[in-house]
Amino acid sequence: MTELNREIETYNRLLPELLAQQGKFVLIKGSEQFGTFDSYQDALSAGYQRFQLEPFFVKQIAPAERVSYFTRDLTLLAS
Amino acid sequence: MGPLITVAILPSSPRQAALRAAGLAVPAYTSGTFLVDTGASNTVVDMTLISPLGLAATGAAMCHTPSTGQQAMPFNQYDVMIWIPGASASDPAWIIEALPVMECDLSAQGIKGLIGRDVLDRSILIYNGTAKHFSLAY
C-alpha cells in the first residue's frame, strides 16, 4: 500500500469541496489541506517551503480516481 | 526491445531547493536506459536509480498492470527531475523539473525505466519501423 494513507483519507474527505477546483493540485499534510495550485511544481514548491523535508502529499483534484495503466508487467514497489 | 533513450534522474527542483535550504547536499544524478513506452500511462523508474536520491513519497496513484488482476493497486509516487540529453552535444537537453514517478523493479528487463505518456504527451514521437529509427522532439 502506501505510507500516505492518512493524507489520502484527508483528500477523499475533502474531495466534495475540492471539486470546485478540479484540475488544480492540492497540498495536504496529515488531516489538513494547505492550498491548491495551478501546477504540480507550484504545489511541490509550496510543500517544501512549508514543511521542508517532512512528508507531505500532492494530488491533482479529479472527480474520480485516475488509474495508470501499464501493458508491460512491472514489479511496482509499495515501499 | 523498442525505442531506448538515456535518462538522468535527480530530485525535483523544489526538493533540490529544500535540500540546499537545509544545508544538505543535492544527491548526484542517477541514470540509465529507459524504454519509450506508449503502453505506460506514467513514467516509472527502477529502484536502483530512485534509492540513492533519498526521496520521500509525495503522492500516490492507482496502477493497473497485467499482474494486478481485476483491481488497480495504490503505489507511492516520488517527485523527480528528469533530464534527457539531446541527440548530439550541441542539442539542448530536455529537462522536466518536477514529475511524479513510480518506483519499480525492472532488474529482469534490462532497462532502468519507462518513459510513459505523461512525458510523451509533451513531445512528438515518430517511430519509423521500416527505417529502424525513431525521433522524440520536445
In tens, the pLDDT along B38-55 reads 999 999 999 999 999 999
Per the structure block, which three cell numbers stand in for B124?
512528438
Amino acid residing at B13: S
Mean pLDDT of B45-66: 94
CB contact under 8 Å between B41 and A8, yes or no, is no
Query: Is B95 near chain A, with CB under 8 Å?
Result: no
Q: For residues A79 and A5, what is the distance between their CA atoms, to the nearest angstrom?
A: 13
Report the predicted TM-score, pTM, of the whole model to 2 decimal places.
0.92
| pLDDT for res A73 | 84
* Per-residue pLDDT band at B107 (split at 50, 70, 90): confident
CB contact under 8 A, B18 and A52: yes
B122 reaches A (C-beta below 8 A): no
**Residues sharing a CB contact under 8 Å with residue B35, sequence separation 6 or more, in sequence order:** B1, B2, B3, B4, B111, B113, B114, B115
Residue to mutate among B76, B107, B122, with most A CBs inside 10 A, is B76
Average pLDDT score over residue span A61-65: 94
| Shortest distance, CA B87 to any CA of chain A (angstroms) | 27
User: In the prediction, which pLDDT does A2 show?
Assistant: 59
A29-62, pLDDT tens digit by residue?
Answer: 999 999 999 999 999 999 999 999 999 999 999 9
| Helix (H), strand (E) at residue A15 | helix A5-18
pLDDT grade for A79, boundaries at 50, 70 and 90: very low
User: Is residue B81 within 8 Å of residue B10, measured between CB atoms?
Assistant: yes
Contacts of B100 in chain A (CB under 8 A): 40, 58
Task: Grade residue B67 by pLDDT with cuts at 50, 70 and 90.
Answer: confident
Instruction: Say if CB B55 and CB B79 are below 8 A apart.
Output: yes
Residue B138 has pLDDT above 60, yes or no: yes
Digit-coded pLDDT (tens) for B85-104: 998 888 899 999 999 999 99
Query: How many angstroms separate the CA atoms of B25 and B20, rounded?
Result: 6
Closest of A61, A15, A42, A25 to residue B12, by C-alpha: A42
Taking a contact as any Cβ pair under 8 Å apart, which residues of chain B between 15 and 34 contact chain A?
15, 17-19, 21-22, 24
Q: What is the mean pLDDT of chain B?
A: 94
CB B23 within 8 A of CB B15: no
Displacement of CA B83 from its chain's centroid (Å) = 9
- Tell me the Ramachandran region of residue B110: left when phi exceeds 0, alpha when psi lies from -120 to 50, beta otherwise: left
In whole angstroms, give the CA distance from residue A29 to residue A57.
6
Average of per-residue pLDDT values in chain A: 93
Residues of B within 8 A of A58 (CB-CB) are 58-59, 79, 100
What gap in Å lies between CA B104 and CA B54, rounded to an integer? 15
pLDDT band at residue A78 under the 50/70/90 scheme: low
What is the number of CB-based contacts under 8 A between chain A and chain B? 139
